[in-house]
Structures are given as C-alpha cells and as structure tokens.
Amino acid sequence: MIPRYTRDVMAKLWSPEEKLRAWCLVEFYACEAWYKLGKVPEKDYKVIKKKLAPYMKKGFTEENIKRVEEIEKETKHDVIAFLTHLSEIVGPSARYLHLGMTSSDMLDTAMAWLMKRAMEIIIEDLGRIKKILKNRAYEFKDTLMIGRTHGIHAEPITFGLKLALWYEEVKRNEKRLFNALETISYGKISGAVGTFAHIPPEVEAYVCEKLGLKPDPISNQIVQRDRYAEYMASLAILGTTVEKIATEIRHLQRTEVLEAEEYFSPGQKGSSAMPHKRNPILSENLCGLARLLRGYLVPALENVALWHERDISHSSVERVIVPDATTVADFMLVRLEGLLKNLIVYSENMKRNFNLLRGLVFSQQVMLALTEKGMTREEAYKVVQELAMKVWQDKTLNFKDLVLKDERILKFLTTAEIERIFDVTYYLKYVDKIFEKVFGE
C-alpha cells in the first residue's frame, strides 16, 4: 500500500524485515522441535540458536534483504534464497533447518502469524470506535431530528439513535473479525502434500504453539484458502460499514442540510478555486478506500479453488491483497475514529429541518388515530393524503391547521386528541428502551 494510506504499525508488520523474521521463527522453532525429539544434535542446535537469535529478536537488515534478493535472481525461488542465506549465517549446522518441510510449511505458518497480528490491530482499532459511538450516542440520545427514507422526510428520530445503530453494526463487525481471527490462526508443518511423511505432527504442534497458532486439523501442501477468504470477507464488510457511516455524514454535511459537519481545522483549505469551501474530505476518502477494500475480496475468493494438492496461482495475489487490505482497513478505522470523535453536530439545524414540512411528518399518526376511532383505513389514508398534498403544494399552509379544520376528521377526533397526535414525544417514547437493548444499561 502507498505510504499515504499506511500507518507505521502496519508498515512495520508487513515490511520485508518482519517477513523474514517470521520465516526465521518458523524455521527455528521447527528445528527446536526436532532437537527436543532427539533428531538434532545439541551442539548444532546451540549454534543455530546463537546465530539466529539476533534475527529472531530484532529482525533482518537491509543488507540481509539485498542478499536474499541477490540469491533469488539465480534460484528464482524466494524460500530457497532465504534458506541459502540462513546457511551463510549459520554455517554447516544449517543442514538441520527445514528438515522434512516444504516451502508452504514455512510460508503459510508465517503468514498466519502475521495475519493474526494484523487482525488484532484492526480489532483494537474497532474497539476504540465502539467506545466513541457509545459515548456520542448518549450525548445525543434526545437530540431531535427528522428520519429520512428514500432521502425524503419520514418521521422523528434522534441523532443518538443513528449513532446507536452504527454502534450495533460495529459490534457485529467486531464479532465477524474475531471469527476471522480464529479461522486464520492455524499453521501447518505437514510436508509436501500434508501427510507428515517426512516430519512428525509433534513438530507442527510445537511450532504452532510457539507462535500462538493452532495446528490445522488437515492440510495438503497449504492451509486451505477458504480461511483467507473468510478473513478478507470480514474486512470487506467492515469497509462497507465504514462507508455507510461516512456516506451518512456526507449527506448530513450538505449545505442545505448541515446537521453535522467534519471538523475543519485552522488553516485547512477546501478548494484551490473556491476559498469558501468546507468539504467532507475525510468521509469522501473513506468511501473511496471502502471500494478498494471490497475489491480485494474477489481475488481471495478466486484463490480458494486450486489444482489438486496445490498450485502457485494464489501466491502472487496474496502478496498484494493481504498486506494491502489489512493496511487499508487499519487506516480507515483510525481515520473514522478521529472523524467521529471530532464530528460537529448542529442540533438547531436539525430542529429547523424537522419543521420544513410544516407538520407533515405526523401524517401516519393522524391516519392511525382515525382508523382507531372507526374510519376505514382506505378512507383515512385518502383524507390525510388529500390534506398533505395541499401542504406540499402551498408553502403557506400548515398540516396541523388543516387537520384541526377538516370536518371529516373532527367527526372522529376531538381538538385535544389532535393536539396529542402532534406531540413529538409520542414518537420517541421508546428511545430509552432501545438504548437499553443496544447498550445493556
């Protein structure tokens, strides 16, 4: 991923230095398992441990990376190039590295370890967003605004309910991410076709335990890619939720609406041509990145169906989509965190917009009251819609005034009953109950 959308924590995790460190850890722990099984002489084990310790702790240097790349130009095989370089570092004892293993034993187990760590970062990011959404939901629990369906004014809600809705969706995303974390946290050290022909299952169990992974119950040459597909799907859905929130903020910031607005910092510029502009650039950026994040899912799905016990068509894809997707997801969540934390809410504009239709938002309640008092639903709908269309067409009219003067309605409803119908608190009577359901308090 380009530096513009990469945080340092992800840049480090997916760096060539960290990749080689992950490979080295797998190779060393496999060697250590063999040592504990009596296959590797103690003298050679100690040499290997001493020589590799600095690399397992601090990672590999730019010089190491260049050397591996140099060897790969000849071998045309990055794993063999790496193992050759380890032999240069370790010396003759390196013959006890990679015993009974195939390249994918190292690659898939190391990748699972890296993907697990990346997902843990993303889950931590999402936890902070949950906290912000909860706090801001309570802050605006009773802040009246108009609900919109099809982009058109519908009935009263509160801004807090909108935030609580986002919170609940974020919770579902969190659950999916935890499921994906569990699914991806499997390694395999089972040999060329998964039969453990040249390496016992004890080695696999040992390596996985050391890395905080579990041994895959069964594999062929690789860990099956449905695990990766689930992982990428959870990120794609997460990105779509972020886009949903960002899209709503963009709509609410439109000049003629202006019910909420991204924080505009001192010195910030909105347009090279129009000095007056205050654009929702953070939200727009998140919507764009969500498209990118979703795009990584299809290649992950296509990687599931490989030939027989494995072909290499998935490899080039995963080198790009896994680091990029996790990096983008992390960046998006941190950006969304700041956006929500600093979001400016204009409650007065919410009240202003709520009154734009001059009482039409109470139409359903009028209709229901009439049917409750004996008018047929068809007749009630016809009467209420007739009055409503007059208000749409004549900006000087008020819906409540027309209802109070209509003889057809007055046959069924008293003035006091009509006044209660136009009491907005009727629509919000279960807000506390909804919050209790969402937040459990």
Tens digit of pLDDT for each residue in 3-43? Answer: 999 999 999 999 999 999 999 999 999 999 999 999 999 99
- What is the rounded distance in angstroms from the CA atom of residue 187 to the CA atom of residue 112? 6
pTM passes above 0.85? yes
Instruction: Inform me whether the pLDDT recorded for 287 exceeds 90.
Output: yes
pLDDT digits (tens, 9 = 90+) for 294-345: 999 999 999 999 999 999 999 999 999 999 999 999 999 999 999 999 999 9
The share of the chain scoring above pLDDT 90, in percent, equals: 96
168 neighbors 160 (Cβ within 8 angstroms): no
Instruction: Label residue 279 exposed, middle or buried (CB < 10 Å: 0-12, 13-18, 19+).
Output: middle
Q: Which domains are present in the chain?
A: 3-96 (1.10.275.10), 103-353 (1.20.200.10), 360-421 (1.10.40.30)
User: What are the start-end ranges of the E strands in 87-168?
Assistant: 144-149, 152-158
- The tokens for 32 are 């250590």
Active site residues: 150, 271
- What is the rounded distance in angstroms from the CA atom of residue 110 to the CA atom of residue 98? 14
* Mean pLDDT of the residues in the chain: 97
E strand or H helix that includes residue 201? helix 201-210
At residue 154, the 3 state secondary structure works out as strand
- What is the rounded distance in angstroms from the CA atom of residue 80 to the CA atom of residue 379? 81
State the virtual CA torsion across 306, 309, 311, 313 in degrees, nearest 10: 30
Write the DSSP assignment of 303-331 as a string of letters.
Answer: TS--STT--SHHHHHHHHHHHHHHHHHHH
Q: How confident is the model at residue 397 (pLDDT cuts 50, 70, 90)?
A: very high
Instruction: Inform me whether the pLDDT recorded for 437 exceeds 90.
Output: yes
Instruction: Provide the pLDDT for residue 264.
Output: 85
* Average pLDDT, integer, range 188-196: 98
Instruction: Provide the pLDDT for residue 271.
Output: 85
Q: How confident is the model at residue 281 (pLDDT cuts 50, 70, 90)?
A: very high
Residue type, 249: I
Instruction: Provide the pLDDT for residue 313.
Output: 95
* Average pLDDT, integer, range 55-61: 93
* Average pLDDT, integer, range 412-428: 95
Q: How confident is the model at residue 272 (pLDDT cuts 50, 70, 90)?
A: confident
In terms of Cα–Cα distance, which of 236, 22, 6 is closest to 109? Answer: 22
Instruction: Provide the pLDDT for residue 91.
Output: 98
Distance of CA 270 to the CA centre of its chain: 28
* Average pLDDT, integer, range 89-118: 98
pLDDT digits (tens, 9 = 90+) for 215-238: 999 999 999 999 999 999 999 999
**Measured CA distances, 42 to 14, 131, 293 (Å):** 34, 52, 48
Compute the C-alpha angle 337/338/341, nearest 5°: 85
* Average pLDDT, integer, range 345-368: 97
Q: How confident is the model at residue 441 (pLDDT cuts 50, 70, 90)?
A: confident
